[in-house]
Structure 1
């Protein structure tokens, strides 16, 4: 299902940046916050903004929250308000509900409420930066689940000029190269005969252990 309309509850740093990027990508965004100053700041950026308390059911009904494809609860400083707003979005039948969690406990509560996706911005960014700092070949790192990861890896010098068949990433580590970002464009589902160069970025998917073994091999120059 393609999502076109988003309602974001909470226009702090996370919510406002999320809204800005969604609008930049061409989507419609309604921003809701109790803070008039935050709403005013984004009034000319988001598609619509409203000063309101999203923990009140009538407020969400009046703005037509149930008609949005996705509701994002981006409240970070008030866990009670975050939970209440999330409950209301679920009860109103919003197709997809995403919520920001500020702690593991907060996340567990949201999970039990049936939230479609839980985001831990500070924790996730910390993990990504840590991996980038200790592995020079790792350009980006996203944990898809507790078991699987997708990573962007720079091609090491020793692989330049070799085909995917030659490097045999799946045979060595069990992970797969699902795309190659070359200067001339992205190759999705590359073939075994596709050749790598040091200018390329590989998009690799596998278990956390497989990705870690692959990184260690790159760092050691194997």
Structure 2
């Protein structure tokens, strides 16, 4: 997908790099040149501009953009104005960062349905990582069930899911597997990335550094993490 990110602070930069690593074409925009310089060689394109100036948008390929992300975190007014301009001039899907409950209210009044709260979401993810041992990342379905990323240990490498009796032994469902692969980015540089291998079956053989995406009860996920650490 083609994605434009407005605001290259910690959140915007991390998002730009992650989206680039997963194969998206990302344009990063910020009004500070020092922030542009930090990512200009790592993503598809960067533009230094004031996102609150509607006339500046003529230089941006919004017509071909799938998603516009307002990641501005230092200035609530600038974030709101940027979102308002995007709502007016583009049909791209808009995702906007909210900095306060009032900001939430304004965004909802604009008709923005995809609102993110990075700090709150990061705290919730960190809580899950602490509570679910050896879990890399986790998404809570409800208070009892989660989808979690868990890196396998050396004992599992080279074995199939059937040989491990995975479902029976751990009471977890393997949704998919993330596996290391080498990719060439838009600048021609080779980089290691995690790639989804699709839907695994009993004959799927695990490899070193594989990350399992599992679904199940939080207690079973914790037990699996403890087993891996032993």
Q: TM-score, normalised by structure 1?
A: 0.68
User: Does residue 165 of structure 2 align to residue 163 of structure 1?
Assistant: yes
Could you tell me how far apart the structure 1 residues matched to 2:57 and 2:21 are? 25
Q: Is the 8 A contact 2:144 2:218 kept in 1?
A: no
Q: What is the aligned residue count?
A: 208
Q: Is the 8 A contact 1:137 1:215 kept in 2?
A: no
Distance 1:117 1:22, change over 3 A: same
Distance 1:31 1:196, change over 3 A: closer
Q: TM-score, normalised by structure 2?
A: 0.67
1:215 corresponds to which residue? 221
Question: Which is bigger in relative contact order (C-alpha 8 A, separation at least 6)?
Answer: 2
Could you tell me how far apart the structure 1 residues matched to 2:206 and 2:39 are? 44
Distance 1:146 1:107, change over 3 A: farther
2:26 corresponds to which residue? 29
1:190 corresponds to which residue? 200
1:87 corresponds to which residue? 84
Higher helix proportion, which one?
1
**Cα offset for 1:8?**
1.5
Distance 1:90 1:201, change over 3 A: same
**What RMSD, in angstroms, separates the aligned Cα atoms of the two structures?**
4.0
1:74 corresponds to which residue? 71
Q: Deviations over 1:114-169 (max 9, x none)?
A: 43533322222222222222332423213479997421246799x99542452483
User: Does residue 125 of structure 2 align to residue 125 of structure 1?
Assistant: no
**Cα offset for 1:108?**
4.9
Q: Is the 8 A contact 1:65 1:89 kept in 2?
A: no
The runs of 5 or more residues in structure 2 that have no matched partner are 156-160, 181-194
Q: Deviations over 1:168-195 (max 9, x none)?
A: 837xxxxx43125689x97643346879
Q: Secondary structure of the equivalent of 2:176?
A: strand
Could you tell me how far apart the structure 1 residues matched to 2:226 and 2:37 are? 52
2:192 corresponds to which residue? none
Q: Deviations over 1:70-121 (max 9, x none)?
A: 2111100111211221122122223221222234553454345343533322
1:173 corresponds to which residue? none
Q: Is the 8 A contact 1:10 1:73 kept in 2?
A: yes
1:203 corresponds to which residue? 213
Q: Secondary structure of the equivalent of 1:102?
A: coil
